[in-house]
Every structure is written in C-alpha cells, then in structure tokens.
Chain A
Amino acid sequence: MQNLIVHDVIAQTEQLFELQLDRANVAFEPGNCLALFNNNEESRPYSIASGTDDELLRFLIRRVPEGPVSQWLTERKPGDMVQVSEPFGWFQPGRSESEEQSVFIATGTGIAPFLSYLRTMPQQPPQACFYGVSLAAEAFALDELKALPNFQLAVSRETANGDFHGRVTGLMEQLPLESNIHYYLCGLDEMIDEVSGWLEQKNIDYTHIHREVFFYADAT
C-alpha cells in the first residue's frame, strides 16, 4: 500500500471522470488494476489507462450512485492523497505470442486496459478495436482511438456523426475471425457473454477469448 498524490480530476460527463495520480514508483503491465481506497478503508479495483512509461496513473471512473469509493474519488482535488494497492490483474490485452493478433472490444470505462496497451505498444495495434458507449460524449480518448487502423465506435442511445448507431454487439459480424487472433473483451457483462458465446459458435478457441467484467447490466 502507498499514498499517491492526485494530479487532476477531469470530468468527462456528469457520471464519468478521469482520475490522474502522480505515478511515484508504481510499475505495472497493461491490464493491471490498482485498488483505490477512500478515507474509510473501503476499496474498489480500477484498471490503469496509462502507458507503462507515462508519468501519470490514469483511471477512467464511473460515479456509482451511493458508491462509497467512486463518490469519494470524484471529490478529490489536486494535491490530495489517495491510498492505492500494489498493481494486480488477470486480464492482459495483447499479451499473446508474437505471431498472434489481437482484437479489442470494450464498453464504457472498459476501454481503460486497452488504452494502457495502446499507449504502451503503439507500434503493435490490434487488428480491430470496437468500443461501445451509450452517448458519444461518454467515449474516452477518441482522438487516440480513431487513429487506429480498424476502430469503430458504437453509440447506442443517440445517433452520432459517422459512428455506428446501436450496441457494440451489432458490430460482431465485422469482427475478423481467424484462428491466430486473441479476443479481449472488457466492460459490461452482457456484452462479454454475448460476444464470447458468438465467438465460440464461430469456432474460435475458448483459450483465445479473454474476459474482464467491469460492471453488470442491471447495476448501471
């Protein structure tokens, strides 16, 4: 455990914000999380969105109504301290054999581990990156993501300029399907269940499907 200094808290929407902490000596890999604590010793895991050489630790956070940690974090000011755990995780986007490819599919703040990968390994982009949000304003880091060779944004609750209108699962038919691709799914449980089930139906090997549930459909 250690305390890190808040660098900034940047609102994305009323419910979403990016928390930036001074990195200190934290070493991590893309996909790692830290448990962030409030002043009441309660903690929640948040995935790091920074590249492994960045100076700041960046977290994409949804403020959960009555959520004791996200609520407390959104009220932090630059210079405040936040207690954090050591990095940990079981979801490692892009960490496959060198001859294998990756596809990333995210919803909401589930884009964080993929941003960490992209900011760490910009020279090895995924074959495709599909990102689902409810409203266009909720999409993080769009400038970076839209520079990827095969990026698509799916916006489900409004029509957005040039983007797919609907849930990200509506893009599944456009997914590249090859036996040497690893599929990394992060975000809403329903999306992960639906996409992983569909991939298995398409004879994608179970060991090539990697999952990280960030939140549940009935809790959002």
Chain B
Amino acid sequence: MPTQRDNNWFFSSKGEKRGYIQPQLLHELWFHTGTSCNLRCPFCLEGSKPGDDRLQFLTLEDAKTFIDEAVEMGVEKFSFTGGEPFVNPHFISILDYALNLKPCLLLTNATEPLMNQFAQIIPLNDKPYPLNFRVSLDHPDPQKHDESRGKGNFKKALDTLGRLHREGFGVSIARHMLDGEDSTAVDKAYAPYFRQAGVPLDITIIKFPEFHTPGSLPNVPEITESCMTSYLTEAQRNGFMCHYSKMIVKEKGECGVYACTLVDDDDDYNLGRTLKEAMTERVMLKHHRCYSCFAYGASCSEGPCNTDGEEGQISA
C-alpha cells in the first residue's frame, strides 16, 4: 500500500474536498492477469502489447490467496482482465480453481491465444460454476475494428464468440462508445454479425467510453464531495465499481489490491495487501477515469450491483 498520499488525494486543484466512495460488501473481485497481450491497440487503457510487463503475470499461487480470502468475505463472482488473459500461461489453472468456488467472467480479444487453447477451455464448462466470456468487438464494422486490432481479428473474434456459445459458455461483447452516438442504433448494427456467429441477438453489449492510455492526464472535471450528493443518488453512488469490487494486480513481484479495474496506473489506488484491509479504505475520486464512472456510470461489471439504469451498462 502507498506509504504516504499527498493532499492531491484528498483535495481538488481548487482545494475542495474530493468526492469519495466508501466501499461496502465485496461483491465482485477482479484479477489483472498481466499487461502482456498478443495485440498492440493504440487505444488500450492498459498500454498492453506483446511482452509488456508493467503488470506481471498473476500465478495460481498469487490468485489462490485472494480467491480464498474473497470467498470468506462473501464474494459473489470473480472477473479477469488483461492484457489478454490467455497470454498468461497460468490463466487456465487459475480459472480451473476459481470455477470451483464462484461464477467467473473474463474479458478477451478472442484471437490466437484463446483459439490455440480451446481444447483446454472446453472442460471448464463442466466446473461447478459458470464461465462467461466477454469478447471485444469494438465496432459493428469489421474494417474499423481491424484498423486498431489488426487485419482479420474481427472475423476471428466473431468466430470464436460463436464457438464459445455453441460449447455452452455464456457470452457478451464489449464495444467502444463514441461521442454523441445513437447507442440503440449502434447496438442494433451488430445483429447481422450475431446471426452470422449463431449467438442470440440480445446478448449483453457493454459500452466503454474513451479511457485514455496509462499515465495520461486528460482534462476532465474534478469530482468534489458536493458533486457526489448534488448530482447522484445513493443508488448511483452504490453503482460505482469501487463500492462493491476490487482488483488484484501484480507489480514488481508483489500483489496489491487496487480500488477498481481502471486505476492501476496510479499507486494511490493500491489499497493494501489484503482484501479486508483494502475494503476499509475510502476511495477518493481523483483519477481521470473516475469521471467516466461519475458521468457515464461506467462499469466493467455485468452483475446486479448497478442499481440505477441498465445493469452493468454504460448509459449517458
């Protein structure tokens, strides 16, 4: 955990008290499997690329400690993000362990690292708890998707989405949210591709706004204490991910508990070495990505914790 936080943690640039979230029950625990990825997307909020080790591969031993602690604390699900999780050589063994205990969700680009391990993935469907895959299909336009992710990767991801569904796994997709978009129309534009893949037309579509690359400092409004009470209801405040979830990150050989999935580039959000310790820490909303949660209700989750608006989806 950070030894000292300066005034910037507590006060805005204008000296006002920052808005904050006081975590409550741990509903969902996220694991960052490492920033290594087979792709090199220019928009990646993690700055992931092949061989990247800003955040290191989580091992089964690393994960077990937190999985067991989370179960003791009443966690309801485990979720995994990267990088590309299937690049982590320990990932399938981590899933194998976690699926004995709780439902799991994983985020994937659904290309070669997953495709090449399909034989090892299929048996995970026989575990006591279900596994859901959220596949990135950035735009309902293969060419636009492939501009950032590489030629042919929309087709691979769509094909893999269909194969996962046919094997009986739960599937959803994540897409980019564009400024001023007609969200309903964009969602509907996926229908022909879902038909092609053989997946139901009403699968969940999670929309993500621009999060910017790690360490960037875009100019966004600061969130003060009064913003949190003037503009948000209690239910909306409870919908912030840092209210009900945490993320495990491995950095420089040590695991830490971060406030959520979006702030792992700022040590101030490393809340401790144990979940119990981290859940007592008040989370100040100083990160530029906190504004996405404030303004759009951004959430990486698909669970029942967003009590206002469409569950787990970003609605402006």
Interface size class for chain A?
20 to 34
Q: Are A90 and B151 touching (Cβ within 8 A)?
A: no
Q: In this assembly, does A45 line the interface, its C-beta being within 8 Å of a C-beta of chain B?
A: yes
Contact A88/B50 with A207-B119, A210-B116, A213-B112 known, Cβ cut-off 8 Å: yes
A189 and B152 form a contact (CB under 8 A): yes
**A216 interfacial contact with B, CB 8 Å:** yes
Most buried by B among A44, A92, A207: A207
Given contacts A189-B152, A206-B118, A206-B163, contact A43 B112 (CB under 8 A): no
Contact flag A34-B112 (CB < 8 Å), given A207-B122, A216-B151, A218-B151: no
Closest chain B residue to A86, Cβ basis = B53
Contact: B118 with A85, CB < 8 Å?
A: no
Instruction: Identify A90's interface contact among B49, B53, B113, B150, CB under 8 A.
Output: B113
Question: Is B163 within 8 A of A33, CB to CB?
Answer: no
Q: Is A212 an interface residue (CB 8 A)?
A: yes
Contact with A along B133-167 (1 / 0, CB 8 A): 00000000000000000111000000000010000
> How far apart are the CA atoms of A210 and B51 in the complex, in Å?
20
Instruction: Tell me the total A-B contact number using a CB cutoff of 8 A.
Output: 57
Write out the residue numbers on chain A whose beta carbons fall within 8 Å of the beta carbon of B38. 90
Give the contacts of A71-98 with B (CB-CB under 8 A).
Answer: 85-86, 88, 90-92
In the complex the two chains form, what is the Cα distance from A88 to B150 in whole Å? Answer: 20
Q: Does B31 contact A (CB under 8 A)?
A: no
B240 contacts partner chain A, Cβ-Cβ < 8 Å: no
Residues of B within 8 A of A43 (CB): 49-51
Q: Are A35 and B51 in contact (CB under 8 A)?
A: yes
Instruction: Answer yes or no: B87 CB below 8 A from chain A CBs.
Output: yes
| B86 adjacent to chain A (CB < 8 Å) | yes
A62 within 8 Å of B (CB atoms): no
Q: Which residue of chain A has its CB nearest to the CB of B87?
A: A90
Residues of chain A in range 105-149 having any CB-CB distance to chain B below 8 Å: none
Whether, in the assembled complex, B36 has its beta carbon less than 8 Å from a beta carbon of chain A, the answer is yes
**Is A33 in contact with B51, judged by CB distance below 8 angstroms?**
yes
A211 within 8 A of B: yes
Q: Which residues of B are found within 8 Å of A210, using beta-carbon distances? A: 116
Question: Is A64's beta carbon under 8 Å from chain B?
Answer: no
Whole-angstrom distance between the Cβ of B94 and the nearest chain A Cβ: 16
Which residue of A is nearest B121, CB measured? A207
B112 touches A90 (CB 8 A): yes
Q: Does B60 contact A (CB under 8 A)?
A: no
B112 to A207, Cβ gap below 8 A? no
Assuming the A-B contacts A189-B151, A189-B152, A218-B151, are A91 and B51 also in contact, with contact meaning beta carbons closer than 8 angstroms in the complex? no
Closest 5 CB pairs of A and B: A35-B51, A85-B51, A207-B119, A90-B113, A45-B50
Seen from chain B, the residues whose Cβ lies within 8 Å of a Cβ on chain A are: 36, 38, 49-53, 86-87, 89, 112-113, 115-119, 122, 150-152, 163
Other than the given A33-B51, A193-B152, 12 more pairs (CB < 8 A) read A35-B50, A35-B52, A85-B50, A90-B87, A90-B113, A91-B112, A92-B116, A189-B152, A206-B163, A210-B116, A211-B116, A213-B112
